[in-house]
Amino acid sequence: MKGIRIGSVLRARCPACHQGRVVSGFFSILPRCPNCNYNLHPEPGFYVGSMVVGFMLTAMMTIPPMIALKFFDADVGLIVLFPFVEFLFVGTFILFYCRIFWLHLEYAMTDRLDGH
Ligand SMILES: [Zn+2]
């Protein structure tokens, strides 16, 4: 098994060559690496799993603070607003990196003899 380079994940680089950027904008993953032509969509629905993981991570970071807010008798408006803010900002951030990490994980766990 090959290792995962965290630096490449953080900079959203290709898992194969660590040079090409794998994202276009913030929401879409390019079909192939612009540098080495590595296939960034190995199978249909490849990123669905990463979105489930990302969603669960976001929920884990959202629910305990909400319980804490309730416990400390915070304003109802704040308790209602909190998950929206959390999912919008933190959730987007987590989902973005979950997909990159997912791609690197897939690369690390498979040996592709054909080089694609
Ligand atoms: Zn590449």
The upper half-sphere exposure of residue 16, i.e. CA atoms within 13 Å in the direction of its Cβ, equals: 18
Residue 27: per-residue pLDDT: 78
Residue 22 and residue 106 in contact, taking contact as beta carbons nearer than 8 Å:
no
Q: How far is the CA of 4 from the centre of ligand 1 (A)?
A: 14
Name beta bridge partners: 28.
24
Q: How far is the CA of 88 from the centre of ligand 1 (A)?
A: 30
Q: How far is the CA of 70 from the centre of ligand 1 (A)?
A: 47
Reported pTM: 0.82
pLDDT digits (tens, 9 = 90+) for 33-78: 999 999 999 999 999 999 999 999 999 999 999 999 999 999 999 9
Identify the burial level of 7 via C-beta atoms within 10 angstroms of its C-beta, where 0-12 means exposed, 13-18 middle and 19 or more buried.
Answer: exposed
